[in-house]
């Protein structure tokens, strides 16, 4: 016997999945549009940023799809929830990692500019 979310819970999942899908699509479009000039300029930092944004968008779209499956299917709500949560974990991990890398680069740049290192 598997657990099925009720209509009210499904509405929450549907709303969340719609918002995630919208943000994921906009992030993907933004990343691809940003990659085009980055590739023509061969700007390594812009290319890396664009690729990270594409990966983040993929994780977010994957989570949105899994949350949507909770609403649209029957029999595997917990399985779909776990897929969505794993995708969100990847999304947040990559976001945190990119903030750490950017923060480290900023600190390094400031220290280098002030000739501390």
Question: Domains of the chain: which residue ranges?
Answer: 7-113
Q: Give 44-60 as a DSSP string.
A: HHHHHHHHHHHHHHHHH
- pTM for the full model? 0.83
In sign, the C-alpha dihedral spanning 31, 58, 93, 52 is: negative
- CA nearest 24: which of 87, 98, 96? 87
Q: What is the pLDDT of residues 62-115, one digit of tens each?
A: 999 999 999 999 999 999 999 999 999 999 999 999 999 889 988 998 998 988
């Amino acid at each position: 016997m598997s657990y099925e979310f009720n209509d009210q819970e499904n509405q929450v999942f549907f709303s969340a999945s719609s918002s995630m899908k919208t943000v994921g699509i906009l992030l993907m479009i933004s990343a691809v549009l940003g990659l085009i000039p980055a590739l023509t300029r061969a700007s390594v930092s812009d290319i890396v940023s664009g690729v990270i944004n594409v990966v983040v968008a993929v994780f977010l779209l994957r989570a949105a799809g899994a949350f949507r499956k909770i609403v649209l299917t029957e029999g595997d709500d917990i399985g779909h929830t776990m897929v969505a949560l794993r995708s969100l974990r990847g999304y947040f991990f990559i976001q945190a990692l990119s903030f750490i890398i950017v923060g480290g680069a900023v600190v390094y740049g400031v220290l280098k500019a002030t000739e501390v290192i």
